[in-house]
Amino acid sequence: MSDAKPHIYVAAGLILRPDGSLLLGQRPEGKPWEGWWELPGGKIEPGETVLQALARELQEELNIQVTQSTPWVEYTHEYPKNIVHLMFCRVTGWEGTPESAENQALAWIHPDQPLPVSPLLPATEPPLRWLRLPTRYLLSSIENAEGLPAFLERLDAALADGVRLVQFREPAWQLRYTQGRSEHDASVSPRQKIFDSYGDLRHAFEQVLQRCRDHGAKCLVNSIHPESWWAEADGVHLRAEDARYLLRQGSPRPAGMVGVSTHDAEEISLARKLDADFAVLGHVLDTPSHPQRAGMGWEAFAECLRGAGLPVFALGGQSSDTLADAMAHGAHGIAGIRKLHR
């Protein structure tokens, strides 16, 4: 990124109606990028917080008073003449009806449908894509064949409640399976056995995948499991060490959707370099699944998200009760093995 170019800091609002529609504005005559479509917002003035700048801009541009907004993703884009740091924020409450106060055209669009307006500013495309990502991410915790019926019941309840993103993640089971097989048959390499094996673990994976398919939910496979399974599902969820390994090898980004587990800002930057769809950061709160490790807390979580450049889920001690807290601290949503549904 060039050091000679000026840096500008911008607050941009994703003004969202309850039906999921989103407001775009067209840059008026006389401004740089005149005629291009963007999210309402503008430059942050000295002494202003991001949310203050956003509220002022939306008052000036649309004549609305923001009553509910949360920071979301900080994203940097290099243009030919400058480097823009966009602080995208979700705006879910306002008073008044948005109107064109600066002679700009306005359009309510649906992020999951083809755009009815163009062209869109280059840095405004990623947030429209991120909006399609569900805000609850359920991680499996089956442990063994006996645990499958109870987990499938929990999965059914979550899917019925609208959870649309699931990760198949059974590290202890995968390890036991690999070790068990290698003990009995020394003629085949343990690695080969992982990739060829079909047993209880495979059955559990198929059951989870089928249920996700039935509900139109996406299913990602943790990178501890065979690579051939990633492609059968909707993509992979990489452990941080696997993300680091892929980058070191110069490997191409895995196909399909890509999530990355992270524990700090440096690991979030790995996810961004890999062009992942999202990262998961934890542990935020104390959690029974990691009793020996204290949670980082919401302030440290928010700090790690500075300049993240992609949506980040909060992990650790999360439930439907913490979703609002998570979003207030910049999370895209929450991830966990416990109850993410009501």
Q: Which residues bind ligand 8DG (CB under 6 A)?
A: 8, 10, 12, 31-33, 38-39, 41-43, 77, 84, 86, 121, 123-124
Between residues 70 and 182, which has the closer beta carbon with respect to ligand 8DG? 70
Those residues whose C-beta lies under 8 Å from the C-beta of residue 199, and which sit 6 or more positions away, are 177
Question: Closest distance between ligand 8DG and the C-beta of residue 40, in Å?
Answer: 6
- The least distance separating ligand 8DG from the CB of residue 42, rounded to whole angstroms, comes to 3
Q: Do the Cβ atoms of 212 and 188 come closer than 8 Å? A: no
CB of 32 to ligand 8DG, least distance (A): 6
Hey, what are 297's tokens?
Answer: 């807390």
Neighbours of 43 (CB within 10 A): 12
Nearer to ligand 8DG among residue 130 and residue 151 (C-beta): 130
Q: Which is nearer to ligand 8DG, 108 or 195 (CB)?
A: 108
Closer to ligand 8DG at the Cβ: 87 or 312?
A: 87
The residue (of 27 and 211) whose beta carbon lies closer to ligand 8DG is 27
CB 82 to ligand 8DG: min, Å: 6
Q: Which residue is nearest to ligand 8DG (CB)?
A: 42
Reduced to 3 states, what is the DSSP secondary structure of residue 248?
helix
Q: What is the DSSP string of 69-125?
A: EEEEEEEEEE-SS-EEEEEEEEEEEEES----SSS--EEEE-TTS--SS-PBPGGGH
Q: How far is the CB of 176 from ligand 8DG (least distance, A)?
A: 49
Q: Quick one: CA dihedral 207, 315, 22, 117, positive or negative?
A: negative
Distance CA 277, CA 78 (A): 20
